[in-house]
Structures are given as structure tokens and as C-alpha cells.
């Protein structure tokens, strides 16, 4: 455990500046060791470190990879619960060679069950949501023991009625949420509508008109403006592409809370 904490904190340290903090190895190691005391899985830790080292070359490492690396999500010794059995945490579920295993809540049964979540291709069923990079968004309904997440990178969404991976909806197509629509559109009143370009009118109150993904709705002008880059002056988080406005400047988001915790900020 101590060696894992040492190496993990060495990787975290350079990211502390993104939340306006200085790296503090003692604080970081203390937080990591206390969090996993008595239940750390050494093999899972080795995999996590290897994946993090490989990701340090990415420009968005501090903002995304550090918080969202799947192999670092569960570092506890895994339980023995099988797919379909009740659980209370992801760690309670036994790992599977098929893919990611999660403890998923079903609003239908009001229970949490272990579920194998696989990447779904066109036509895969049953699907329970979609994935976009490392981000996963699940439907709050029945959770089968083995299910698919439709990959937006492949132009797919999960159709709620048929529980099947289908093509993303174009402008005018049906939707339940923004993730059902192609990137140039958002979901409004059950239909995909075109997003507004920079300089166009937008509506932050009703969200009936949303801006392109590289823009935000300026609350002062009700017009779409380009997202600000890290280091640019800001007054609120919605204007920052990285997601955080801290001390009047846009800073990296994503892993802010994790970094604040580990860096003693």
C-alpha cells in the first residue's frame, strides 16, 4: 500500500497547480493510505499505475485521465457477488473477463444488482445507456445481469423503448436527452433541434436553444460565445471549456475535487 501511495502521489503532484495548490507528498500519501486501509488490492493498484503512467503524455491528463481512468476506479479487494445478485458497492461485485462490472441501481426493482456492462455495437440488446469516452450515462430503469452501453463515438444511442443500440438522432429525430442526438443538436421537447452557433441567440432559462459544444450561453447577452481556455479571466464556470472558474481564471476541471482532496487544497 505504501509503495502504491508513493508512486500514485508522484503522478498526482504535477497536477496540483491546476487547482491552485502546491504538491504535498505527505498529505497525498496519508489520504490514499487511509482511504484504502485494510482493503487494498495490490494487483489492481499495479494496473492503475501502469495506465496512469501511459496517460501522463495526454494533454488532458490532469483534467480527465486522472479522475476517469477505469482501472483506478476500484482498488479494493473485489467481492464475490455474481451478475444479477444484490450489491451495495461496485467493489462487492466479482470481476469479469467479459468487461466492466458495476453495482447498478434499478428504479423498477428498487434494488442494486451486479451488472456486466459491455460496449454495444449497432443492434446490441439489451442496452442500459450510452458511453462517450470514459463517461457513462445509464438509464434509471431495469438493470439486467449483462447489458450493453451504446458508444456515441460509433454514432450510437440506446433506444429506451426497444433497449437496442440504434443510430444517433439527427435534427428532427426523437430523443429523451441530449445524448440521443448527434453533436450538432440538443434535445428539446422530445425532438433533436439544431444547436446555436457563436453570436446566435440562446436561452439559458428554458434550455430550448442551446449553443454549439464549443460555446456557452452568455447570461448577460443571451447569445452564444466561445468557451474560454485555461488561464483566461472568467466570472463563472459555464464560460470555461475546462469547466472550472477558480479565483477569476479558468482552470482544469474534471478531477478538481479529487485533486483538492489529495493536494490538501
SS (H, E, C) the chain: CHHHHHHHHHHHHHHHHHHCCCCCHHHHHHHHHHHCCCCECHHHHHHHHHHHHHHCCCCCHHHHHHHHCHHHCCCECCCCECCCCECCCHHHECCCCCCEEEEEEECCCCEEEEEEEEEECCCCCCEEEEEECCEEEECCCCCCCEEEEEEHHHCEEEECCCCEEEECECCCCECCCHHHECCCEEEECCEEEECECCCCECCCCCCCCCECCCEEEECCCCEEEECECCCCECCCHHHECCEEEECCEEEECCCHHHHHHHCCC
| Mean pLDDT estimate for the chain | 84
Per-residue cell: 37: 486501509
Per-residue cell: 11: 503522478
Q: pLDDT digits over 33-88, tens only?
A: 887 777 788 888 898 899 889 888 877 777 665 666 777 877 878 889 999 899 99
**Can you give the pLDDT at residue 231?**
76
Cα-only R_g, the chain: 21
Residue 176 has pLDDT above 90, yes or no: no
Q: pLDDT digits over 102-111, tens only?
A: 888 877 678 8
Of 229, 233, 192, nearest to 214 (Cα)? 229
* Domain residue limits, the chain: 2-77+254-262, 90-167, 191-252
Residue 148 has pLDDT above 90, yes or no: yes
- Are 75 and 36 a contacting pair, CB within 8 Å? yes
**Can you give the pLDDT at residue 256?**
39
| Nearest-angstrom CA–CA distance, 44 and 144 | 26
- Are 179 and 157 a contacting pair, CB within 8 Å? yes
Residue 259 has pLDDT above 90, yes or no: no
What φ, ψ does residue 66 adopt, rounded to 5°?
-60, -40
Residue 160 has pLDDT above 90, yes or no: no
For residue 32, give Cα distances in angstroms to 13, 160, 207, 260: 13, 40, 40, 13
- pLDDT band at residue 257 under the 50/70/90 scheme: very low
The average pLDDT across 171-196 equals 92
Beta-carbon neighbour count of residue 138 at 10 Å? Answer: 19
| Nearest-angstrom CA–CA distance, 260 and 265 | 5
For residue 249, give Cα distances in angstroms to 13, 14, 15, 51, 242: 21, 19, 16, 30, 11
Of 189, 229, 232, nearest to 210 (Cα)? 189
Amino acid at each position: 500500500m505504501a509503495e502504491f501511495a508513493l508512486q500514485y502521489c508522484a503522478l498526482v503532484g504535477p497536477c496540483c497547480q491546476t487547482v491552485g495548490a502546491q504538491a504535498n507528498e505527505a498529505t497525498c500519501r496519508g489520504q490514499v493510505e487511509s482511504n484504502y486501509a485494510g482493503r487494498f488490492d495490490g494487483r489492481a493498484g499495479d494496473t492503475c499505475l501502469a495506465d496512469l503512467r501511459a496517460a501522463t503524455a495526454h494533454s488532458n491528463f490532469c483534467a480527465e485521465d486522472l479522475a476517469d481512468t477505469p482501472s483506478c476506479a476500484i482498488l479494493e479487494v473485489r467481492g464475490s457477488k455474481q451478475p444479477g445478485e444484490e450489491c451495495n458497492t461496485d467493489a462487492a461485485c466479482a470481476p469479469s473477463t467479459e468487461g466492466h462490472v458495476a453495482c447498478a441501481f434499478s428504479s423498477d426493482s428498487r434494488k442494486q444488482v451486479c451488472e456486466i456492462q459491455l460496449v454495444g455495437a449497432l443492434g446490441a440488446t439489451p442496452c442500459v445507456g450510452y458511453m462517450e469516452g470514459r463517461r457513462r450515462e445509464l438509464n434509471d430503469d431495469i438493470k439486467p445481469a449483462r447489458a450493453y452501453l451504446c458508444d456515441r463515438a460509433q454514432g450510437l444511442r440506446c433506444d429506451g423503448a426497444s433497449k437496442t443500440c440504434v443510430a444517433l438522432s439527427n435534427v428532427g429525430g426523437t430523443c429523451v436527452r441530449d445524448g440521443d442526438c448527434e453533436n450538432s443538436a440538443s434535445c428539446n421537447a422530445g425532438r433533436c433541434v439544431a444547436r446555436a452557433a457563436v453570436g446566435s441567440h440562446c436561452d439559458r432559462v428554458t434550455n430550448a436553444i442551446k449553443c454549439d459544444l464549443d460555446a456557452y450561453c452568455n447570461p448577460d447577452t443571451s447569445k452564444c460565445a466561445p468557451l474560454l481556455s485555461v488561464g483566461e479571466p472568467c466570472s463563472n464556470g459555464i464560460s470555461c471549456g475546462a469547466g472550472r472558474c477558480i479565483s477569476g481564471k479558468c482552470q482544469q476541471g474534471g478531477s478538481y475535487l479529487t485533486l483538492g482532496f489529495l493536494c490538501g487544497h
